[in-house]
Amino acid sequence: MSAAATALPGSGRIARGVRPDTRKALAADAPVEALPAPPTVTLPLVQHTGAPCVALVKSRDTVEADAKVADTDAFVSAPIHTPVAGTVQRAGVVTLPNGRHLAAIPVKTAEGAPGPEAVYADVLGGDWPLDDADGRDPEDVLRAIREAGLVGQGGAAFPTHVKLKPNPEKPVDTLLVNGCECEPYLTADYRLAVEAPAAVLAGARLAARACGARAIFVAVEDHLHGARQALRGAAGPTDITVAEVQTRYPMGGEKQTVRAVLGRTIPTGGLPLDVGVVVINVATAAAIARAVQRGKPLTHRIVTVTGGGIRTPKNLLVAIGTPYRALLDACGGLTEEAARVVAGGPMMGFAIGDLDAPVTKGTSGVVALTRADVRHAAETACVRCGRCVDVCPLNLVPSRIALAARHKDWDLARRYHMAACMECGCCAYVCPASLPLVQLMRMGKAQMPRETGG
């Protein structure tokens, strides 16, 4: 560990957790390639955590690229923009990998869409001045972020302007940019940090300006040397600290990163805000820079397409709304061994049931796993070996909670703090009995009756 990392307020490490094979070498050295616009993009009306948007366009309307096609007045929400110029088709319903059925607007791409080089230059290229944040009004920055439809691109897709809006009761002193990317296989954040570090840092500056943070930390796992070097090079002698943290899953979880980098513990059920921190993903930071400095909405994102079941793993810059199938085709398609295609990483991602479903704002990767990767022994009896307890990053007793959920014993589930579980999957990853621990806990959390009174 470098000297800089030891100077962090936190230890740079997390307790427990697991060390799955990262498999990042598959795609880590593949430069980001822009994917040409597909014949049709499909834009679900909910691509974030919060209120659904309402369509602003109707069938047969002609739209320009970057035009807003859906919005709402609700605060916790984010508008949706079309990445391509074209014609709006009849609204339909899509089923996303997470199982949600959502209304969606298809847009048929018009002729003459910009080529891959132009898209890359538009989204990631050019200069990203680091020094223009201080001159901006925080309100303007927040407004630009809201109008650009930014959501957290690490997975949870929480609207960014909501996260950054200053709360007088909970002042923020630190902005933490999360580039840990602790999910195995995924390299989208890594490639972004290598290829456009200035965009990440410029966005971080703007985000800090918006939320009132004075200190800025960028966290990367210690095996991602390229990302660390690129970010340190771009940061130069600024106030931005590039923090190296231990490579251990789930380092990228908010609670874990904040504790590792800053040594602060987010209370159960609370937010980083409760300890004076705002955490944003590196891709979100880059999108903030693009939204504020260039006035561009969130219409494209980097998606890692990788895994043993894909012929040529790549990092693709794709239009949001592109079907997963087009991403797989651009990477040579699936191999015969492919058995499961996962949206997101293999630990917390969702298996894709319909390859025609579109990429959304929160899609960080597509991992094609082989039969050997997903081979799972049949479930056997829990022998209470306690491995799940040994790896739980939140210090829970997963096997107890899962069995309580299976038998709907809500008192027991409460006593073992079921609601604190963040579903990272470490327990199920190590379970010698192959118990579906995460599935049981998810089911339990959804079914447990809300406490009354109190």
Q: Is 129 in the site for other proteins (CB under 8 A)?
A: no
Give bridge partners of residue 43 from the DSSP assignment. 105
Coil/strand/helix, residue 271: coil
Interaction with other proteins in 378-397: which residues (CB under 8 A)? 380-387, 389-390, 393-397
Site residue total, other proteins (CB under 8 A)? 93
Interaction with other proteins in 427-446: which residues (CB under 8 A)? 428-434, 436, 438-439, 442
Coil/strand/helix, residue 390: helix
Least gap, CB of 161 to other proteins (angstroms): 26
Interaction with other proteins in 155-194: which residues (CB under 8 A)? 184
- Residue 134 CB neighbours (<10 A): 8
Q: Is 297 in the site for other proteins (CB under 8 A)?
A: no
Q: Which stretch binds other proteins (CB under 8 A): 70-78, 217-225, 267-275, 284-292?
A: 267-275
Q: Which stretch binds other proteins (CB under 8 A): 123-131, 162-170, 214-222, 351-359?
A: 351-359
Nearer to other proteins, 133 or 275 (CB): 275
Q: Is 304 in the site for other proteins (CB under 8 A)?
A: no
Least gap, CB of 181 to other proteins (angstroms): 16
- Residue 191 CB neighbours (<10 A): 26
Nearer to other proteins, 85 or 287 (CB): 85
Q: Could you check whether the bond before residue 250 is cis, i.e. omega within 30 degrees of 0? A: yes
The encoded tokens of residue 169 equal 């009761």
Residues 6+ apart with CB under 8 A from 405: 413, 418, 440, 441, 443, 444, 445, 447, 448
Longest alpha-carbon distance in the chain:
62
Q: Is 270 in the site for other proteins (CB under 8 A)?
A: yes
Give the whole-angstrom CA distance, residue 324 versus residue 228.
30
Among positive and negative, which fits the CA dihedral 142, 144, 145, 146?
A: positive
Q: Is 83 in the site for other proteins (CB under 8 A)?
A: no
Interaction with other proteins in 223-262: which residues (CB under 8 A)? 255, 259
Nearer to other proteins, 159 or 358 (CB): 358
Do 57 and 88 meet the contact criterion of CB atoms below 8 Å apart?
A: yes
Give bridge partners of residue 121 from the DSSP assignment. none
Give the whole-angstrom CA distance, residue 88 versus residue 68.
12
Give the whole-angstrom CA distance, residue 254 versus residue 258.
6
Least gap, CB of 317 to other proteins (angstroms): 18
Q: Which stretch binds other proteins (CB under 8 A): 65-73, 191-199, 217-225, 343-351?
A: 343-351
Coil/strand/helix, residue 16: coil
Q: Is 204 in the site for other proteins (CB under 8 A)?
A: no
Least gap, CB of 358 to other proteins (angstroms): 8
Site string for other proteins, 397-416 (x = CB under 8 A): x-xx-------------xxx
